[in-house]
A and B are shown apart, each in its own frame.
Chain A
Amino acid sequence: MGALLTPALGTVVWASIAFLVVLFVLRRFAWGPILSALNEREESIAGALNEAEKVRKEMEELAASNENQLKEARAERDRMLREAREMADQLVADAKNTAREAADKEVAAAKDAIAIERKAAVAELKAEVGNLSLEIAERLLREKLESNDEQKALVNRLIDESPLN
């Protein structure tokens, strides 16, 4: 029992010497290199992780900018298509208008011409009728109307002869 509670001189001496020697040996040749190796590795791992995170962010940014560019390009294309379509529509509409106007003008001109022709024809007809009437009247007067029948026949003949259609 006493042996349990009394530190034995020899044990204390051996323990002191052996433990201190091992402590110094390990401190110099083991713990220093081990701890610094662990630190270095941890730092390099942390560095690598940071690097990876940075690269990931860059990639994200790149992807985002690509996306933007793509969007812009698409918008540009849409805009161009729309403009082209508008322009084409415009052109077609313009052409239609022009054609219609031209046609209207033609029609109007034709109508005018017809109206003028008609007026002229009517005027000519009127003059012709007047002349014919005068001729008829002249002949009537010249043949001295011998009988009524002759007169009537004459009138009818004259009418038949007249180019009245």
Chain B
Amino acid sequence: MTRFFSSFKALLAALLLLSGTALLAQDHGHADEHDAHAEHAEHDAHAHSAEHCDADTDHSHEGDHNGEAHDHESHADYAHGDHTHDEEFVAGTFIIHHIADAHEIHLFGDVHIPLPVILYIEGQGVKVFMSSAFEGHGHGNKTCELDGIAYTMHAEDGTTGDGTPVVSGQITAAADGSALTVYDFSITKSVFGMLLILAAMVWMFLSIAGYYKKNPGQAPKGMANALEPLIIFVRDEIAKPSIGDKADKFMPFLLTVFFFIFFCNLLGLVPFLGGFNITGTIGVTVVLATLVFFLTNLNGNKHYWGHIFWPHGVPLPVKFILVPIEVFSIIMKPAVLMIRLTANISAGHIIILAFTSLIFIFGDGGQAIGAGSGMGLFSTAFMIFMYFLELLVAFLQAFVFTLLAAIYFGDATHDPAHH
């Protein structure tokens, strides 16, 4: 019961967080309507000045005074560039841009690492090209034309010309003026980060396994020594207490998930790397949650299903209420895992980015450098605190996800006859 209640609380917290984000985004949406008009007309003419006032400097380097100075300058540029209004700093856009997935890794200023774009276009086959092929800077849509197909990478949520809804970062294609159906299998920032982490995990754990094989019964050294406490932590503090005798069966999944989430969270905290938000990307967490769903239900024993469809010791009328709730909870439990992880990691990034934004808001586009610098000092101090908190959260969320998955597996395989 407590467990259910805590899941509920977490869900509530996640919803609150997300609604907060939505408010920010709406705010920015209004501002952008202006943008949209101005953008098309003026984009080319002001290509140079539109080129990054960088709202999107890397969040970690905001504390750095050089970075600030640079940004003030570019803001000042804008003031002269005569469209201060269009490019006014909008915290919502800035933040969402940084935590959302992207087709490139944004290092700092105008420096990006391009990533491969892989598209399956109906009737046209698979198209692979680098994201650097897209032209256009700033916050507007980016376009490119390859082999007679015109690609558009949308900057904002909205609709295409023919009314098809699109989300920011989505790529649409058109040939001869008619829209094509595009399936995007690009190696995006989150996919790239995820592959990086998974490759690192394979290397790390295979070399650790090799070490153990070579030195049986010896005290661990180096990487084995560093990671062994975590492996033992997952086994003794998560798997065994939650699952019991059948823990061994689930250990590979629990260990992989734990380290994957933990390392992804840590990668997201590394500054100057484009602020990876892998575990805050819903496409990644949905896969983890789906695996938990299948592992729980495919391993569910008679007692588990009995508990869902015919709970014992409950009066018949209550069963009519309880059974639908229990059936709903089959889906809800992994869904909550997904939402909690995504929301927590994104929230951490949002807070850090929000305090970065404060510097620019107080700096008022370079008009109030004193206020901006004062806020910069305060924000930096607070961000340092937040970074420490985020280090804790990085571990905590990996722990919570793994622990709850283990508890669900335990519920599914628990045999009351044995106790």
Contact = CB atoms under 8 A, between A and B. Distances in A.
Interface string A102-133: 00000000000000000000000000000000
Given A1-B25, A12-B283, A34-B208, A26 B188 contact: no
B251 A35 contact: yes
B185 A19 contact: no
Given A5-B282, A37-B213, 19 more contacts: A1-B22, A1-B25, A1-B167, A3-B168, A6-B167, A10-B185, A11-B283, A13-B185, A16-B287, A22-B256, A26-B201, A30-B202, A33-B212, A34-B208, A37-B212, A38-B228, A38-B231, A40-B216, A41-B218
Nearest to A15: B287
B291 interface: yes
A34 B22 contact: no
Contacts of B410: none
B183 interface: yes
Instruction: List 6 tightest A-B contacts by C-beta distance, closest first.
Output: A11-B283, A2-B167, A37-B212, A27-B252, A30-B205, A1-B25
Interface residues of B, number: 58
Given A37-B216, A44-B217, A30 B209 contact: yes
B228 A14 contact: no
B222 to A, nearest CB: 14
Contacts of B231: 34-35, 38
A141 interface: no
Interface of A: 1-16, 18-20, 22-23, 25-27, 29-35, 37-38, 40-41, 44
Given A30-B206, A34-B208, A23 B252 contact: yes
12 contacts: A2-B168, A4-B346, A6-B282, A10-B118, A10-B185, A11-B101, A19-B291, A22-B201, A30-B202, A31-B252, A35-B235, A41-B218
Interface string B182-207: 01111110110011001001100110
Most A-side CB within 10 Å, residue of B25, B202, B206, B212 = B212
Contact of B96 (A4, A12, A35, A44): A4
B170 interface: yes
B281 A41 contact: no
Contact of A8 (B25, B99, B184, B216): B184
Contacts of A14: 185, 187, 191, 194-195
Contact of B99 (A4, A10, A29): A4
B169 interface: yes
Contact of B21 (A4, A11, A20, A29): A4
Interface centre among A8, A16, A20, A22 (most CB of B within 10 A): A8
A2 B157 contact: yes
B283 A15 contact: yes
B286 interface: yes
A5 B22 CA distance: 10
A11 B190 contact: yes
A149 to B, nearest CB: 147
Contacts of B218: 41
Nearest to B92: A1
Given A11-B281, A11-B283, A38-B232, A3 B100 contact: yes
Contacts of B332: none
B191 to A, nearest CB: 5
Contact of A34 (B21, B183, B212): B212
Given A10-B186, A14-B194, A40-B216, A26 B202 contact: yes
Contact of B167 (A3, A19, A32, A40): A3
B362 interface: no
Contact of A10 (B191, B201, B208): B191
B188 A11 contact: yes
A41 B216 CA distance: 7
B133 interface: no
Interface string B136-167: 00000000000000000000010000000101
A31 B251 CA distance: 8
A40 B217 contact: yes
Of A13, A40, A44, which is in contact with the most chain B CB atoms at under 10 Å from its CB?
Answer: A13
A4 B209 contact: no
A26 B259 CA distance: 12
B168 A7 contact: no
A2 B202 CA distance: 33
